[in-house]
A and B are shown apart, each in its own frame.
Chain A
Amino acid sequence: MSTATFKALFETSPLGICMCDQDGYIKYYNESAANLWGRKPDVGKERWSGAWKMFAVDGSPISLDDSPMAQCIRLAKSFSSEEITIQRPDHSFCRLKQHPQLIKNEQGNITGAYNTLVDISHQNNIAQYQSVLSAIVESSDDAIISKNLQGVITSWNQAAQKIFGYTAEEIIGQSINKLIPAELHGEEKNIIENIRNGRKVDHFQTIRLTKSGKLIHVSLTASPVKDANGVIIGASKIARDISMQLQREAALAQSAERLSMINSIGRSISEKLDVHSILQNVTDATTNITGSLVGAFFYNMPTEQGDSQMLHAFSGIAADKFEGLKMPAKSKDFSKLFNATDIVLFDDITTNESSAKNVLFKEMPAGYEPVKSYLAVPITSGSGVVIGGLFFAHSRKGIFQTDHAELIAGVASQAAVALDNSRLFEQVSNLNSKKDEFIALASHELKTPITTIKGYLQILQKKEDDTVKLLFLNKCLTQVNQLNKLVADLFDISRIEAGKLHLTYEKFDLKEMLNSIVEPFYYSSPSHKIVLNYNTETVLLNADKLKIEQVITNLLTNAIKYSPGADKVEITVETSGQILKLAVKDRGLGLSKEQQKKIFTRFYRVEGDAHVTGLGLGLYLSKEIMDRHKGGITVTSELGKGSEFVVWMPL
């Protein structure tokens, strides 16, 4: 090869080449060297290197006299792969590998040196970049695994070791199937398929197998890995251990479920007023919530006679089998079952023989494992006395936690309140029916003497000619009738309450009835004129005649009674469409808004007038009668001006 060829080689080489003499003066350099240095040094004038500035690998500056080239001449030694960094005049840096070599003549004397400069900045950047990536992968908490398209594991980070248990040495080169439970191997085929087609698999929740054989919940993301030509050569998988996350989610869901259970128990308890339903509902719900095999509720209910009765409810497996087992019969047995008023919780009563002496469920029915887990929650009355308890048992140990116990305690206190309420309600109901029974009996008894008095007075009335004596007899009879009316009203009340007020329908002429009602008032209340207005000729009504008569008489009596200063009462009968309206209007005391609201209630009498007689039942009964006829009573009134009562009903 000729010199010219070698020269051309040097000139065009991509590697930087420069030469210097034995004193270090630069004799020659190629274009690549000039590019690397970023400048063209003066030949023969500058020494050792064309670099503007030089630095060691660690960043410390190197004077050109200490450059690899200089060291080569000085130490008469050739070097290779000396890494330095040079800075160009434009302040950019370049990382170089230098290979300074001695040039010797035929005699073996050093005549100079030549240097080959290899630009490794690019490589260096890549190296730096790679080491950053490496650090990221290693420091991640998620397992980062790469595999080829055959499913062989090619990389394995620290987290992967932590999660799966295998070291990198153990697992790299193995099939990824080692991590996948047998029944899920199909998943891997699927993932590879997606990867081959350039598709990412994102946040796929599944189960994987660790070295110790344990199954764990993971969330996987797999992405295709391409080579420099864009060909997919494998996949990188990130696996996150989501067992903690799943556990937390499950716990939240369970809390939410429990809260809603408590809510619904609370609602159903407060809606129910009968003791047995409350007991059963609470027992069923709490047995369910705690996951018990059996649950029992014992409640010491005070009875009317002053002692108490033990009620119970069972729930869970074989609830009926427990009915026969021996259970605490008296309340003093309760104190033995609890430590004062504390909750009793055992993870395993079989390991705690002595303290588990007073456990309610010692045996399970045949076919079930013996009791291990046990929970007893006392129910205390308002005064702090233990009046009952909720008991739960399970054949497995460690079933009940303290938060179960607290939950149950919360339900138990609500139950105690509900039970109290139901007892009070029963008491009130009893009293109420007794009162009604009494009223019915009393009014029945009262009629007998009234019958006698009225009968004989009437006989005397018939026989009496003397005006004065007759007047007295009349007065007596009027009062007896009044007395009778009061008793009848009372009687009606008790029957309304008992739901026994019957109506006997018959057709009658309302006009005729009004005439017969109004006539006696002509004699008894001469102070008032009663005016009758009709908008039709005849009014035929289908109703309970006696009761309607009672209503109209009541309204008319009231109208006169409450208008002592006036002289007129107007009765207006109107039929429009299918409705009958009868209005009784007076110009009397009137009623305030407050009074208007209350007048139709039982035993209500307008205050402030001590002369007013009667029990105050009239309007209450009238309203009841009209309601039963599918009609009603309304009032419009102004204090001081008067009132108008309107009864209406369908024709």
Chain B
Amino acid sequence: MSENKVVYLVEDDPDIRDLVRYLLVEEGFTVHAFGTVQSFRESLLSAAPNLFILDIMLPDGNGIDVSKELKTYSNMKSVPILLMSADHGKVDKPIPESANQFIAKPFDINDLLERVHLLTA
């Protein structure tokens, strides 16, 4: 069980956002989900979460850029980041240092959960 572990999720597709939120809440995580980079920034609290899950293609930004930026905040830089991407190709490339893991869409929900547990352990 993962009591009080906090996950921030940024994903623009509402169905996928709901899907991931549902899965994580079922596992006991507290999930803050956003559809845009803007709303994510506005709501980001100073307390560091246990995990960021970021979609790469966002309407007002790029998941990779956001992850790079997060690493520059002293209170956030040790927080693991999981990048999600529908773009096959990005998964082929080496993972940028700013992220800890990549997961490709469409994902297997078991695979996703396994990684989340691993990163928030």
Contacts and interface: CB of A to CB of B under 8 A. Distances in A.
A462 to B, nearest CB: 8
Contacts, number: 61
Contact of B13 (A452, A459, A495, A504): A452
A448 interface: yes
B86 interface: yes
Nearest to A488: B88
B22 A459 contact: yes
A451 B105 contact: yes
Nearest to B109: A458
B1 to A, nearest CB: 17
Interface string A328-355: 0000000000000000000000000000
A100 B30 CA distance: 164
A635 to B, nearest CB: 27
Contacts of A448: 13, 16, 86, 105
Contacts of B93: 502, 504
A459 B23 contact: yes
A447 B19 contact: no
B107 A451 contact: yes
Interface in A434-468: 443-444, 447-448, 450-456, 458-459, 462
Nearest to B105: A451
A322 interface: no
Contacts of A456: 19
Contact of A447 (B86, B92, B109): B86
Nearest to B86: A447
A503 B109 contact: no
A450 B19 CA distance: 12
Nearest to A444: B86
Q: On chain B, which size bracket covers the interface?
A: 20 to 34
Nearest to A495: B89
Nearest to A449: B15
Nearest to B26: A459
Contacts of B42: none
B19 A444 contact: no
A455 B106 contact: yes
B114 interface: no
B108 A458 contact: yes
B106 A447 contact: yes
Contact of B106 (A462, A484, A500): A484
Q: Which of B57, B87, B89, B108 has the most CB of A within 10 A?
A: B89
A495 B87 CA distance: 11
Given A451-B106, A451-B107, A503-B92, A444 B87 contact: yes
B88 A491 contact: yes
A561 B4 CA distance: 50
Contacts of B92: 501-504, 544
Contacts of B106: 447, 450-451, 453-455, 480, 484
Nearest to A484: B106
Given A447-B106, A459-B22, A452 B89 contact: no
A154 B88 CA distance: 103
Interface string B33-68: 000000000000000000000000100000000000
Contacts of B57: 444
Contacts of A459: 19, 22-23, 109
Contacts of A492: 88
A494 to B, nearest CB: 10
Contacts of A484: 106
Contact of B19 (A452, A491, A544): A452
A503 B89 CA distance: 10
A195 to B, nearest CB: 91
A491 B104 CA distance: 14
A289 to B, nearest CB: 52
B89 A500 contact: yes
B85 to A, nearest CB: 9
A454 B22 CA distance: 14
Given A447-B105, A447-B106, A452 B16 contact: yes
A452 B22 CA distance: 12
Nearest to A500: B89
15 contacts: A443-B88, A444-B86, A447-B86, A451-B105, A455-B20, A456-B19, A458-B109, A458-B110, A459-B19, A484-B106, A488-B88, A492-B88, A502-B89, A503-B92, A544-B92
Given A443-B88, A448-B16, A452-B16, 7 more contacts: A451-B105, A456-B19, A458-B110, A459-B19, A459-B23, A502-B89, A504-B94
Closest 6 CB pairs of A and B: A451-B106, A447-B86, A452-B15, A455-B19, A502-B92, A451-B105
